[in-house]
Structures are given as C-alpha cells and as structure tokens.
C-alpha cells in the first residue's frame, strides 16, 4: 500500500536581512555596500548592531555586536555605512508583509517584524513557498526565505538552510540526516549556555541529545527542561499554527549611557525616567502592573536584575516609579553603571481592574 500523501505543512517565512533591505529600498545607493544599522548610527557611541547586510557579515559583523566592535571590523572598508535604527519605518514595512501573508490561503502566526509561521494545505509545499516569496516580493520589494516542515521547530530550522531567497524542507524523514551530527546549539531553543551544560553531560550533537536518557537530563537540568530538550533533539514541535496575536506579559525600557553613571542620584533619576516611560506603555493597554524589575549592567559588561511585586496592581505612574527607584537600593553603589532598564509585568488581558 502506498504511503498517504502529506498535505498539511508548516512554513516559516523569514525576510532576508530585513532591516538592511528596508534601508536599501529607501536609498538604492546602499545596495551591495557593507551596511550596519543600530543605535543612533554613530559607531563611536555605545550601542549594538540591530542588523548587518550580507556584505557586512562577510567581515564578521553580526546582530547584537557592539557598534564599536563592528566599526573595528570594518575599519579598512571605505564604503561601509552605519545608519540609525528607525523602528517606525520597519514596523510599516513589516505590516505590509504580514498583510500580504494574511491574503494567502494560510493560517498566519506573526513572530516578529521579519518572520511568521504559515499553516498550509498543499500537495507541493515548495510550489506554495515560491508563491509566498513571489507575493511578498511583488507587494513590498522584499525578499524572503521559506522553511518547510512538518512542525514549527523543523520549519524554523529549515529556513536557515534556504537562505537567502530559497526554500528548504526539513521533516521527520530527513531530520537526522540533516541535523544529527550538528551541535546542539543548532537547535531552535538551545543557546550557548544550554549547549555548554549539555556538553558537560557528554551530549554534543543533536543525535546524542535525541538518544540521551530522560531521567539523566531531568536530574541535571530540571524535570521539565531536561525532557523538553530531548524532544528538541528528536525534532518534535507543534504541528498547528496559532493565529492568535501575541499578548505581552509586560513591557520594558532600557538605555545604554554614553558615559558610565557613577553617582547614585543619577542612577535613581535615570530609573525614575525609565519607570515613567514603561508606566505609560502599561497604561496604554489598561492592564495594571503587578511586578517591577530593574536591570543593571555594570562596566565593563556584567548584568544583574532585581525584582519585587508591587504592593497592589496599579496604573499609577508615581507609585510605579517609587517602587522602581526603591530597587536601586540593592545596587552595588561602588560600581559604574553603563546600562539601566525597567520592566513591568502586567495583569492578564482579561483582568483590567486598576487600583
């Protein structure tokens, strides 16, 4: 008997070098040049790379890298360009892409500015993927890559093999052929820290993770995390795409200072300003804040957080700021501060009773 033909697929659509591509659309003279976007566009200032064009990546520049490091890598590249981030423009471009995807015969789950899952029915998923690429390009002049999978995990990972402007299929049929000998950090959901923990257990590859003992992983990494990591090694993920919009659990603001703060009064003032900004974000959703967290990054680059519940759920800006400033009492006042952040966790969407 012939095997049944699969017709339910998960596609992962990922816009190629999205932010850089949007900037090139605004200024075609940037095409082909090493382009770095981040901060205020000044590589002499503190800030991080939001995106780097493929040409910049050839010199080792990557997202999340300090702008000053990126500048050093491009020091001998005369046509390199640094630009400031423009969130409003990127949001507008992203919305156009997502609207295009929603007009297709698919269930759409938006993951961020530049990526989304599609749940589709198709006998030929590659043909459908190419139609997605054509629709996005026609509507926005932006290129995308499409990963094809039998679940969200495999579709997400597949996209990386299709970049740029291509497609790739990753399913149970070729999972270990493609992924088996790769490092565990190649899995969506496993970062360098977790990969190091797994390596300490002599688990280095995806196949070794899939073959690992659940009880041993649970004992070393936690009763929930351990078995979950093994499922990642097996390539197990969600088979259904959730079209419901993401609902934020909270909001946060942070700022990196061009000059380190060394005075406690300055630190308190900066936290107060951040808290007031986040309180405004929370008030816009009419979801009272229930917990405040202060993030600090000491010079040169050591990060800590401290958190406390608010006395009661509130939308009151002053009350929120008072509690945030109170947390600065836990800081090491003898250390210079290069970054501060404030985050507020909110009540669930169906609980909007403010006090």
Main-chain dihedrals φ then ψ at residue 43, nearest 5 degrees: -70, -5
Alpha-carbon distance of 182 to 172, in angstroms, equals 16
Q: What's the CATH code of the domain at 77?
A: 3.30.70.270
The DSSP output letter for 183 is B
Residue 245 lies in a domain: no
Residue 110 lies in a domain: yes
Which tokens sit at 178? 């493609």
| Final residue in a domain of this structure, among 153, 171, 189 | 171
Q: What's the CATH code of the domain at 276?
A: 3.30.1490.100
Alpha-carbon distance of 7 to 240, in angstroms, equals 13
Alpha-carbon distance of 69 to 204, in angstroms, equals 30
Residue 353 lies in a domain: no
Residue 198 lies in a domain: yes
Main-chain dihedrals φ then ψ at residue 31, nearest 5 degrees: -60, 130
The pLDDT of residue 157? 98
Please tell me whether residues 323 and 258 are part of one structural domain: yes
Residue 73 lies in a domain: yes
Instruction: Answer whether 268's CB lies under 8 Å from 353's CB.
Output: no
H helix or E strand, kind and range, residue 14: strand 8-15
Residue 199 lies in a domain: yes
Alpha-carbon distance of 291 to 217, in angstroms, equals 32
| Final residue in a domain of this structure, among 147, 171, 195 | 171
Please tell me whether residues 96 and 35 are part of one structural domain: yes
Please tell me whether residues 228 and 280 are part of one structural domain: no
Phi-psi region for residue 248, left (φ > 0), alpha (ψ -120 to 50) or beta?
A: beta
> What global pTM score does this model have?
0.81
Q: At what angle do helices 264-285 and 317-327 cross, to 10 degrees?
A: 140
The DSSP output letter for 161 is H
DSSP 192-242: HHHHHHHHHTT--BHHHHHHS-HHHHHHHH-TTHHHHHHHHHHT----S--
- Asked about 115 being catalytic, the answer comes back as yes
Instruction: Answer whether 54's CB lies under 8 Å from 145's CB.
Output: no
Question: Which member of 115, 254, 266, 312 is catalytic?
Answer: 115
Alpha-carbon distance of 87 to 38, in angstroms, equals 10
Helix (H, G, I), strand (E, B) or coil at 103: coil
Which tokens sit at 27? 């200024």
Residue 354 lies in a domain: no
Helix (H, G, I), strand (E, B) or coil at 171: coil
Residue 214 lies in a domain: yes
Pairing of strands 302-314, 289-298: antiparallel
Total domains in the fold of the chain: 3
Please tell me whether residues 199 and 336 are part of one structural domain: no
Strands (E), the chain: 8-15, 35-37, 51-52, 81-83, 107-112, 115-121, 144-149, 167-170, 250-261, 289-298, 302-314, 337-346
* Domain carrying residue 193: 175-234
Please tell me whether residues 20 and 167 are part of one structural domain: yes
The pLDDT of residue 355? 47
Instruction: Answer whether 95's CB lies under 8 Å from 108's CB.
Output: no
Please tell me whether residues 188 and 211 are part of one structural domain: yes
Please tell me whether residues 228 and 271 are part of one structural domain: no
Instruction: Answer whether 341's CB lies under 8 Å from 274's CB.
Output: yes
Q: CA nearest 130: which of 91, 164, 90, 167?
A: 167
Per the listing, tokens 């900004």 go with 277
Please tell me whether residues 105 and 12 are part of one structural domain: yes
Please tell me whether residues 276 and 336 are part of one structural domain: yes
Q: What's the CATH code of the domain at 221?
A: 1.10.150.20
Please tell me whether residues 202 and 219 are part of one structural domain: yes
Please tell me whether residues 89 and 189 are part of one structural domain: no
Please tell me whether residues 21 and 151 are part of one structural domain: yes
Over the chain (355 residues), what is each successive 10-residue block's mean pLDDT?
A: 66 97 97 95 92 96 94 95 95 96 96 96 96 98 98 98 97 98 96 94 97 94 95 96 85 93 96 97 94 96 94 96 96 95 90 50
């Amino acid at each position: 008997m012939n095997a049944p033909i699969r017709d339910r697929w998960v596609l992962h659509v990922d816009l190629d070098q999205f932010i850089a591509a949007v900037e090139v659309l605004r200024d075609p003279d940037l095409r082909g040049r090493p382009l770095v976007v981040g901060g205020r566009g000044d590589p002499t200032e503190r800030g991080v790379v939001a995106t780097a064009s493929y040409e910049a990546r050839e010199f080792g520049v990557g997202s999340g890298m300090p702008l000053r490091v990126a500048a050093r890598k491009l020091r001998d590249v005369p046509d390199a360009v640094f630009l400031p981030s423009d969130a409003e423009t990127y949001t507008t471009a992203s919305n156009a892409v997502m609207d295009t995807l929603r007009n297709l015969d698919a269930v759409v789950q938006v993951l961020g500015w530049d990526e989304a899952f599609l749940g589709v029915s198709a006998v030929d998923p590659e043909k459908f993927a190419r139609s997605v690429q054509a629709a996005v390009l026609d509507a926005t002049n932006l290129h995308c890559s499409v990963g094809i999978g039998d679940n969200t995990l495999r579709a997400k990972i597949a996209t990386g093999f299709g970049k740029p402007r291509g497609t790739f299929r990753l399913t149970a049929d070729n999972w270990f052929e493609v992924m088996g000998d790769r490092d565990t950090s190649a899995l969506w959901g496993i970062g360098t820290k977790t990969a190091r923990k797994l390596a300490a257990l002599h688990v280095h590859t995806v196949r070794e993770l899939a073959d690992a003992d659940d009880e041993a992983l649970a004992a070393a990494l936690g009763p929930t995390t351990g078995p979950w990591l093994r499922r990642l090694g097996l390539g197990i993920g969600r088979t259904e795409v959730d079209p419901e919009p993401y609902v934020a659990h909270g909001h946060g603001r942070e700022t990196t200072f061009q000059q380190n703060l060394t005075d406690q009064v300055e630190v308190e003032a900066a936290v107060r300003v951040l808290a007031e900004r986040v309180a405004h974000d929370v008030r816009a959703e009419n979801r009272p804040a229930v917990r405040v967290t202060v993030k600090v990054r000491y010079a040169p680059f050591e990060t800590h957080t401290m958190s406390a519940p608010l006395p009661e759920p509130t939308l009151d800006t002053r009350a929120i700021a008072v509690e945030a400033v109170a947390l600065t009492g836990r800081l090491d006042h003898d250390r210079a501060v290069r970054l501060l952040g404030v985050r507020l966790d909110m009540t669930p969407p169906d609980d909007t009773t403010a006090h």
